[in-house]
Structure formats: structure tokens, C-alpha cells
Amino acid sequence: MRVIWLTPGFPADENDHNCIPPLQQLALELVARKVDLQVITLEYPFRDKPYHWHGIPVWPCNGRNRFWRKLRTLRRAFRQGQRLLNGQPAILHSFWQTWAAQTGARLSYRTGAPHLTTLMGQDVLPVNQRHLKYLSQNDETRLVALSAFHASALEKTTGLHAAHIIPWGIREADIPPILPESRPLDVLGVGSLLPVKNWARWLRVLRRVADRVPGLQAELIGDGPERGRLQRLCKRLDLEKNLRFVGAMPREQVLQKMRLAKVLLHTADFESFGFVLAEAAAQGCRVVSTRVGIAPELGFAAGSDEALAEAVVAGLGHAAEIRAPLLMTETAERYLALYSGSHG
């Protein structure tokens, strides 16, 4: 089976572990099942020369997330797609309902190749109306959402139903066979320091928890434009003795931190799935989150700061427990079934 992915980004090399981890893991699972996978990447990595990633051919268009390069980037992606198709049967699979999906739709129209789109995040929200406006009821059968929450957000924005919901799984290799006896870290936060993650709320909840748990120890892993503002807020909330800003870390080190933490607290305003929630649950963390993505299926989800704080305090007293909602092998099997149905 031949599958052509169209995606804004893909790892630049085999050490680029932080670039869309679930996409990396899905690619490896599909190749292990003898899928002939080719990847066209529009924006990242910032290079022109084709390369191989774990044996998978990758064709970068080097858009660099620059709007003034967009026309050139889209032309390159379209032409590369035509070359890879070249009259051969294949399935087009785009990620994000943005320029990658637009390119996939155009290639599908020109060549007749089946086209699927996995919606990946905020591309289902009104902020993405520029690309959502091109969708119609005829497109519903090709749309894949990552969770029921994600599919519901698409419906609220467009009135359309994603025909498929395929959650991200966790690699079996990323699930520890045994858990550490001691978890010295009380509360962990993981993610880019962006407004949509609402880390200011995370700090406010942490303040409530610290008021009830003397000597509370917390860490925040991640970097981004909000870091300076959050560090100032941390000082105003008198949390400097309780919280350490760790900065960005390689994924394997993040998983190690999760194995040492009792609770993962997540206060994002929106998550399509929340891969970090699944990763943490698979490391034995108690998940406490706002009602986004897969959170209600993994742990405690609440709407108020007080309820979140109470759940964190309660979670600190619970024994560690591994919870993996799905294995990536199962995710791959669901996509293979979808590919086979589209091919047929």
C-alpha cells in the first residue's frame, strides 16, 4: 500500500524527537506494516534537499512558515505530489485543515487519488475560517478527528461531522514495566508557554494547592513567549519556593520527569487530544485537567480553579497507576483500515 503524507512539519533527522511525536510514532508503525510511506513537508525542516528518516523518503518544500514564500511552497508541494503519484495508485493523507489539506484536496481533484485529512488541533476553531470555509458535507467522509471533544468543536464551528475519530496511542516501549517507588515531584506541567495553554491559570491553581500542601514542589517544563510574564506572575503569587521553570527538554527526559511526578496539572483552554495527557497517564501520573481533549477519559476534568486544586490535592495522596488509553499499534491499525477502505 502506498501512502503520501502532506504535513506542515516532520522531524529534520532521527534525533529530532520533539517534532510532532505522535506523527513520528505513527509513521514508524505504518512502515513496520509494510506501508510504502512518502512524506511531503511544507514548512519544516528548513531545507530543500530530500532526505530519509528511518528509511522513509521525505520531500521538504522549505516554506519556513513565511507567508511571502507560500505560493512557491504550495507549487513545490503540488508538483512533488504529482511526481510521486505519476499514475500510480496511492492514498493522500494530509494533517491539519490548512495548506497541507488544501494541497491534498487539489491533488486529489487532479489525479483522482483518495484523500484523507486528520484534523490536528485549533484548525477546527473559528480562527481557522480561512481554510474551514472550503469544507462541505461531501468532505465529511475524509475527515478524522482525534477525540470526541475535537469532533464536537468542529461541529460547533462548521456544522460538519468528522466521519472518523482515531485517538493517538502510546508506544508500548514508552510505558514503563515498573513504576519508581518514590515520586519526589508533586505537580508537573508540560507544554509550550503559549496563551492557549493558559499557564496563568495553572499558576493560580498551584497557589491554591500550595496553601493546603506545605512544602509543595512543582516544575513547569516548556518554553515560549509567555515565559517572562509567567515568571513575574509566579513571583507575585509567592510561588518561587514551590516552582521551578525547567525550560524545554528532550522528550525522553520529559517522560522521565513524568515518572517522578505524582500529578500532571493541565489548564489549557483547548486541546484536540492532549498527547501530553496520555503520555503522563502512561507514566503513572494522576491527570488533572480542564475539560479538553481526552482529559475526561484519563483522569479528573473540571471547570473551576477550586475544583482543579481539590483534585490535585486528592491526587497527591493516590498511589501511582499506569493508564494508557490506546497503544500506537492500535492507532496504526485503525488508519490502515481507513486506508484500505479509501483505496477500495
Residues 163, 179: one domain?
Answer: no
Omega prior to 176 cis, within 30 of 0: no
d(CA 186, CA 293): 23
Q: Which amino acid does the sequence have at 54?
A: H
Buried b (16+ CB within 10 A) or exposed e, 76-106: bbbebbeebbeeeebbbbbbbbbbbbbbbbb
Residues 108, 180: one domain?
Answer: no
Q: At 247, which helix (H) or strand (E)?
A: strand 243-247
Residues 52, 156: one domain?
Answer: yes
Q: Which domain holds residue 237?
A: 172-316
Beta carbons of 111 and 85 less than 8 angstroms apart: yes
Sheet with 143-145: strands ordered across: 51-53, 56-60, 36-44, 2-9, 91-95, 115-118, 143-145, 164-165
Give the SS3 label for residue 235: helix
Number of domains, the chain: 2
Residues 27, 152: one domain?
Answer: yes
pLDDT in tens, the chain (344 residues): 999 999 999 999 999 999 999 999 999 999 999 999 999 999 999 999 999 999 999 999 999 988 878 899 999 999 999 999 988 899 999 999 999 999 999 999 999 999 999 999 999 999 999 999 999 999 999 999 999 999 999 999 999 999 999 999 999 999 999 888 889 999 999 999 999 999 999 999 999 999 999 999 999 999 999 999 999 999 999 999 999 999 999 999 999 999 999 999 999 999 999 999 999 999 999 999 999 999 999 989 999 999 999 999 999 998 888 887 799 999 999 999 999 987 65
Grid cell locating 286: 494522576
CATH number of the domain encompassing residue 19: 3.40.50.2000
In a domain, 156, yes or no: yes
Grid cell locating 147: 477525540
In a domain, 322, yes or no: no
Residues 228, 90: one domain?
Answer: no
